[in-house]
Amino acid sequence: MIQNKFKEEMFVKKPLLLVLGLISIAVWGEMVLAQEHKGPRLAVEGREFDFKEVKEGVVLEHTFKILNKGDESLKILSVRPG
């Protein structure tokens, strides 16, 4: 009889614990998203480009796409080769 009562209690508690766990995860996730970075956010598509083998004296060009994924204006004040 005690075992049956224990099984009945666990039958009720497991779904309750699952629901409470899911609610906790949802609230925590919302807090993390709320702390997301504000302002400009630079993103570069294709950060590297390999020209492979190049003969000496050949002029090469490649265009990198720079994006602003933030919510404010992005100002690029200087650029240096890596």
Give 31-69 pLDDT, tens digit per residue. Answer: 665 566 689 989 988 888 899 999 999 999 989 899 999
Distance between CA atoms of residues 13 and 76, nearest Å: 56
**Model-level pTM?**
0.43
Residue identified by tokens 């796409």 is 65
How many residues can be counted in the chain? 82
Residue 34: half-sphere exposure toward Cβ, Cα within 13 Å? 6
Each domain of the chain, given as residue ranges in start order, spans 2-68
Contact 67, 45 (CB under 8 A): yes
3-state secondary structure of 61: coil
